[in-house]
Amino acid sequence: MGRVVVSEFVSLDGVMEAPGPSHDYAHAGWTLKFQDPAGMQYKLQETLDHDALLLGRVTYEGFAAAWPAAKDDVGFADKMNAMPKHVVSSTLTDPAWNNTSVISGDVAAAVTGLKESSEGDILVAGSATLVRHLLAHGLIDELRLMVFPIVLGSGLRLFAETGQPAVLRLSGSRALDSGSVILTYTAPAADAGLG
């Protein structure tokens, strides 16, 4: 059985919007101020270690516009392009990026089925709405946050106000030379509450 691993870039104030360039968000590309070879190696290994991607439509469309033409010397682009991709969307019907399937309808049931049928881990990046849905349904097994030492003051935050607390268990931490910190958490089941 596979696990769902969510990996996000976030600012100190929880913003996850447009960490890279080419977006209409005022602070787009904010992670580029903190380039760190150890962080880049971490992201490469994380991608190589996962068997599939699970994405929301907006993140998928951004990735699908960038990755098919991308080239590198370390195998990151090759892995992104080759791995199976599952995109959650009620509007996308004919995805152009190779190895892509569309999930619509009951997302929780579909993701549960993916986990049960997968022999490897499934990586989720970006996709704020999807991540919130997965957390609410207890479908995230691990949450990895690369927290950057910047306060953006505005922008889409990873976690919305739900009124329902969720307690996470820290299972790893690593400081990078850039001042960023990688925090790894085990996520609770949907009904775990504050127990």
Question: 191 in a domain, yes or no?
Answer: no
Overall average pLDDT of the 58-67 stretch: 94
CA atoms of 150 and 65, how far apart (whole Å)? 27
Question: 192 in a domain, yes or no?
Answer: no
Helices 128-136, 107-117: axis angle to 10 degrees equals: 80
Say if residue 51's pLDDT is above 60. Answer: yes
> Residue 35: its pLDDT value, please?
86
Say if residue 193's pLDDT is above 60. Answer: no
Mean of per-residue pLDDT scores for the chain: 92
| CATH number of the structural domain spanning residue 134 | 3.40.430.10
Structure tokens at 100: 């892509």
> Residue 165: its pLDDT value, please?
79
CA atoms of 27 and 88, how far apart (whole Å)? 26
Backbone φ and ψ for 34, nearest 5 degrees, come out as -125, 45
Question: 131 in a domain, yes or no?
Answer: yes
Sheet with 181-186, edge to edge strand ranges? 100-103, 85-88, 52-56, 122-125, 4-11, 142-148, 181-186, 169-175
Give the number of C-alpha atoms closer than 13 A to the C-alpha of residue 97, restricted to the C-beta side.
Answer: 29
CA atoms of 112 and 122, how far apart (whole Å)? 11
Total number of domains constituting the chain: 1
Question: 70 in a domain, yes or no?
Answer: yes
Q: Burial level of 187, CB count in 10 A (0-12/13-18/19+)?
A: buried
Percent of the chain whose pLDDT exceeds 70: 96
> Residue 23: its pLDDT value, please?
77
> Residue 46: its pLDDT value, please?
97
**Cβ(176)–Cβ(35) under 8 Å?**
no
**Cβ(130)–Cβ(88) under 8 Å?**
yes
Question: 195 in a domain, yes or no?
Answer: no
Kindly report the number of other CB atoms within 10 A of residue 89's CB atom.
18
Question: 194 in a domain, yes or no?
Answer: no
Q: What is the pLDDT of residues 104-154, one digit of tens each?
A: 999 999 999 999 999 999 999 999 999 999 998 999 999 999 999 999 999
**Cβ(35)–Cβ(170) under 8 Å?**
no
Question: 14 in a domain, yes or no?
Answer: yes
Question: 84 in a domain, yes or no?
Answer: yes
CA atoms of 20 and 193, how far apart (whole Å)? 34
CA atoms of 18 and 139, how far apart (whole Å)? 24
Least confident residue range of 10-14, 50-54, 127-131, 190-194: 190-194
Structural domain range at position 110: 4-186
